[in-house]
Structure 1
Amino acid sequence: MVAWNLVFQTPTTLPRKYLQRYSNQLFVNPVSACKLESISRNLTSLQACCVPRAVLYSSGPKTQNFQHCFEKSNDGFLLCEGVKVEEVMKVAEQSPFYLYSKPQITRNVEAYKEALEGLDSIIGFPIQANDNLKILEHLQKLGVVRFLVSGNELELALHARFDPTRCVLNGNGKILEDLVLAAQVGVFVNIDSEFDLENNVATARIAGKKVNVLLRINLDVDPQVHPYVATGNKNSKFGIRNEKLQWFLDSVKEHPKELKLVGVHCHLGSTITKVDIFRDAAGLMLNYIDQILDQGFEIDYLNIGGGLGIDYYHTGAVLPTPRDLIDAVSNLTSFFILKFRPGGLSFPYPKQGISF
């Protein structure tokens, strides 16, 4: 008989301050007792958020192949990592629920790590894509950094034991309170607009800390995705337009005690199916970096954000892998490191970030 256990993420496992802030979102339904029954493979079910969520994992061999955890058995059952979902339902005792595969998450991250091998790089995951605490803790152990859009997400990242100096606060909806918390703990901030820059100056003074900032540049690149998830074209509400860039550079120069420009950032969109879009974006970003360096700034980080699409409609389409993505931009980003950071100097943070 295979030993296994069912671990719940209950309200009592979180600090009081965290519970007060997140109780409505995370713990609408009480956690009920679960009956322990043997299942064919070692698994742990983790329950959180307003409907149950489960994370399935096994102690099978580690693989870096980019593969999917769900499949259909010959006798018609839906399987996750070889376990019948029907069996998971028996121990969850509540439905509907979300089922996640821990090995799948690991494989996804390892696929990017393998593709990025030999490059100074980071892999970032936006916390708004999935705020399940147990999944965040697993990603933290895998070395993934956090991309945040609010103070609430920053507090959640801190609770999951992410190093705040390896987190990035992004988005055009950052409020003063969020920025103060970010400044206090050393989070990097992507500046998205004029008032965003002014707020960062104010919060740096409140916190008594200099803020490391990146400029989010709107490249006006068509990612060829649904307009609702396109973030890098000229009609998008995100990022700095080319004609405004000089104003931001001048403003950073005017506030040397509050701001330190350490990099540039762009985000193209989600569900992207053509890696050439990333390559074109990287080339444009290098041109901007050249302009910025000419004005005496030192740029340590190039952050290119966006997400690869999957076969949503099960048409059998051949879609790019993490390896395809990195191969498309690696020559350009390696050129960036060699040209602007000669001699192989080490820095406290990598020079290239790919967020997914």
Structure 2
Amino acid sequence: MSPQNAPSTPPTPAGQPFFHFDQNRLFVESIELETLAKQYGTPLYVYSRAAIEHAWQSYARAIESRKALICYGMKANSNLAILQLFAKLGSGFDIVSGGELARVLKAGGDPSKVVFSGVGKQIWEMEAALKAGVKCFNVESVAELKQLSEVATRLNIVAPVSLRVNPDVDPHTHPYISTGLKENKFGIAIEEAVQTYQYASELPNLNITGLDCHIGSQITEISPYLDALDKLIILIKALSTQGITLQHLDIGGGLGIRYHDETPIDPADLINTVFERLTSNGLGDLELVMEPGRSLVGNAGVLLTQVIFLKPAEQRSFAIVDAAMNDLMRPALYEAWHGVLPLKLNTGAKAQTWDVVGPICESADWLAKERTLAIEQNDYLVIESTGAYSFVMSGQYNSRTRAAEILVDGDQVTVIRERETFDDLIRGENLLDL
């Protein structure tokens, strides 16, 4: 866009209709976002309860009356209030640490609906999950099988086990969030799966209950899932000939969302296709487990930030804002694209191309590059689609305190995480006795 006044037609925010323009001002549900920015300060994460529940219903309707369990992949967003919402909706949880298990229990989640994934489960984490009574351990190596058997035997508890297999399927996504290729650290090679299941069946205090596969994240095509599923069906049938019968099949999560111009998969399209393929192969009695994360919360959240300075330059022009890579790591880590919008349109500012950058002393501290924005100093901006893998990856680099988190429900606002203070920042540190 050449320099000119901002367009009169409002853009379409990601997460519509829960984020929408009204008279050129951006709202979340019934509340103007600029009101929240001024009242609670920036950087500020804001989530829409209605958007979260709408995303959940897209899965709930698809599995209605079917033998299936949706386990929220909570690494996407682990705020206690968000977990509490999912627990109330009847969700299970996909966890990858003992800390995440503790969060689920604190939020009122049902441990019998928890699947414990991850390549590096420690002994104390295994003990905590066994005592809590999780649904299943998604085991990712022979060494883990052996360790889990020893821990379960010592506690005199039988550990329910599913093996996570690596099907060597390309999910057509960013290499950093691909998890189902041979070069990835996750899972057991599918060629070794039958032998590993046989080994597991001989270990004490293990009960084989399922098969797990997760090929990656931000997937926008059904075909990679079906490529993996075809391999899993062959494996399930091979296991059956060895006397190993499974109760559930976990196909992971990974459905993508709209960041820019993507067309996300409708969960119903994937779930219907998976059930049809299982049924046609005589496996319709298997319970289907899914672990969506990003697709449940990604478009339900935004990050609000304020322009500190505008710095036009010969090569690039910079909009320096008060949010930074410590608040939103994805652009620096993945070169991820997030939409950027002003909270007010048609302010009289001229539109031009800006790189939106933060105050941190790193060249990687950028949130968006080459965006056409009509903005002035002190204006507020929204960074879209930050409900997933955003606050959870934030840190305190440059001694910056972490942002507050807000949940909006209609015209009601709840602070679900207080903004950190300097005392929070240095908690646990000690001066020397000099």
Task: Please indicate the TM-score interval, normalised by the length of the shorter structure.
Answer: 0.7 to 0.9
- 2:145 pairs, out of 197, 207, 210, with 197
SS at 1:305's partner residue? coil
Cα displacement (A) at 1:206: 2.3
CA contact (8 A) 1:300 1:351 kept: yes
Instruction: Quote the residue 1:176 is aligned against.
Output: 123
Within 5 Å, give how 1:319-330 maps onto structure 2.
319-330=264-275
State the one-letter code of the partner of 1:275.
Answer: I
Report the AA paired with residue 318 of structure 1. Answer: T
Aligned partner of 1:72 in structure 2 is 21
Among residues 120, 132, 147, which one is paired with 2:67 in the alignment?
120
Amino acid in structure 1 at the alignment position of 2:79: N
Matched position secondary structure for 1:328: helix
**In 2, Cα distance between the equivalents of 1:318 and 1:247?**
40
- Name 1:131's counterpart in structure 2: 78
What is the identity, as a one-letter code, of the residue corresponding to 1:321? D
Secondary structure, in 3 states, of the residue corresponding to 2:188?
coil
Task: Give the distance between the partners of 1:233 and 1:322, measured in 2 at CA.
Answer: 23
The answer (yes or no) to whether the contact 1:169–1:189 under 8 Å persists in 2 is yes
| Cα separation, 1, equivalents of 2:51 and 2:163 | 33
1:107 aligns with 2:49: no
Q: Match of 1:318?
A: 263
Q: In structure 2, what is the equivalent of residue 241 of structure 1?
A: 189
Q: 1:353 aligned to 2:269?
A: no
1:244 and 1:326 map into 2 onto residues whose CA distance is: 27
Q: Give the distance between the partners of 2:50 and 2:284, measured in 1 at CA.
A: 38
* Bigger proportion of residues as strand: 2
Q: Any residues of structure 2 matched to 1:24-43 within 5 Å, and which?
A: none
Q: What is the deviation of 1:340?
A: 6.6
TM-score, normalisation: structure 2:
0.61
Cα distance in 1, alignment partners of residues 178 and 60 from structure 2: 26
TM-score, length of structure 1 as denominator length: 0.74
CA offset digits 1:7-54 (Å, max 9, x no partner): xxxxxxxxxxxxxxxxxxxxxxxxxxxxxxxxxxxxxxxxxxxxxxxx
2:9 is matched with none
Q: 1:253, CA displacement in angstroms?
A: 2.3
Task: Kindly indicate whether the alpha-carbon contact (under 8 Å) linking 2:220 and 2:263 is maintained by their aligned counterparts in 1.
Answer: no
* Among 33, 44, 47, the residue aligned to 1:85: 33
**Does the residue aligned with 2:213 lie in a helix, a strand or coil?**
strand
Contact 1:278 1:328 in 2 (8 A): no
Task: Go from structure 1 to structure 2 and tell me whether the alpha carbon gap of 1:70 and 1:267 turns closer, same or farther (over 3 Å shift).
Answer: same
For the 8 Å contact 1:272–1:306, the answer to whether it is kept is no
TM superposition shift of 1:85 = 0.7
CA shift for structure 1 position 311? 2.2
Residues in 2 aligned to 1:324 and 1:249: alpha-carbon distance in whole angstroms? 31
Classify 1:332/1:68 alpha carbon distance in 2 versus 1 (closer, same or farther; 3 Å): farther
Query: What is residue 48 of structure 1 aligned with on the other side?
Result: none
Amino acid at match of 2:250: N
Larger Rg: 2
1:71 deviation in Å? 1.9
What SS does the aligned partner of 1:99 have? strand
Aligned mates of 1:201, 1:87 — CA distance in 2: 55
Q: 1:127: how far off?
A: 1.7
Distance in 1 (CA, whole Å) between partners of 2:60 and 2:86 is 13
How many pairs are equivalent?
277
Q: How far did 1:307 drift?
A: 1.6
- The one-letter code sitting in structure 1 at the alignment partner of 2:211 is V
Q: Give the C-alpha shift of residue 161 in structure 1.
A: 1.4
Inter-partner Cα distance in structure 2 for 1:96 and 1:89: 8
Query: Is residue 226–residue 274 contact of structure 2 (8 Å, CA) maintained in 1?
Result: yes
**Per-residue deviation at 1:83?**
2.0
- RMSD between superposed Cα atoms in Å: 1.8
Deviation sequence 1:79-106 (CA, Å, 0-9, x none): 1113211122344x23211101111110
1:238 maps to amino acid: F
Cα gap change, 1:254/1:273 in structure 2, threshold over 3 Å: closer, same or farther? same
As a proportion of its length, which structure holds more helix?
A: 1
Q: CA deviation at 1:328?
A: 2.8
Q: What's the secondary structure of 1:224's corresponding residue?
A: coil
Moved over 4 A (4+): none
The answer on whether the counterparts of 2:218 and 2:254 sit within 8 Å (CA) in structure 1 is yes
Task: Give the equivalent residue in structure 1 for 2:327.
Answer: none
Q: Deviations over 1:137-179 (max 9, x none)?
A: 0100111111111111111111111111110110102111101
